[in-house]
Structure 1
């Protein structure tokens, strides 16, 4: 998986995607999701590093079946909040402080 971390006014933003979805566009009805290098590009990491990043995130965007499934398995995302966009999954996390 690929992780990109950056500080924003809202806190730590973490973007995670499966490697194979980087650069792809997914569509579902009127919804279109493009997994850009600019936003999602970062370091290829193991699952443990993804979990560590999500644990620190104030905001997270997660794309890709494996990445979203990992976030659900680890309790970061409720499965009811996962979107199917074309052939992939997408979820967002916002921690209220």
Structure 2
């Protein structure tokens, strides 16, 4: 999985995606999800295992998660509720906002 963290004035923004999702666009009716290099990849993104993803998501203020594996890790860790996950085309997408 690709993991990217950005510190913003509002807190830590985390983006996670499955490697094979990068550069893809997924659609479901009027919903379109573009997994761009600019947001999910780039030199600031790291290849991450499940533990690193969970650690990052627990520290995030906001997170965007794309892909079967990445979303599955967040659900298994109890960070994302399965009922809030969106199926967009051939992939899954979840957003996370911690109210602290």
TM-score calculated relative to the size of structure 1: 0.97
List runs of 5+ in structure 1 lacking aligned partners.
none
Moved over 3 A (4+): none
Match of 2:73 in 1: 70
Match of 2:95 in 1: 92
| Count of aligned residue pairs for this structure pair | 97
Match of 2:12 in 1: 12
Instruction: Give the RMSD, CA atoms, in angstroms.
Output: 0.6
Question: Counterparts in 2 of 1:56-67, with a 5 A limit?
Answer: 56-67=59-70
Deviation at 1:10, TM superposition (A): 1.8
For residues 71 and 91 of structure 1, what CA distance do their matches in structure 2 show? 9
List runs of 5+ in structure 2 lacking aligned partners.
none
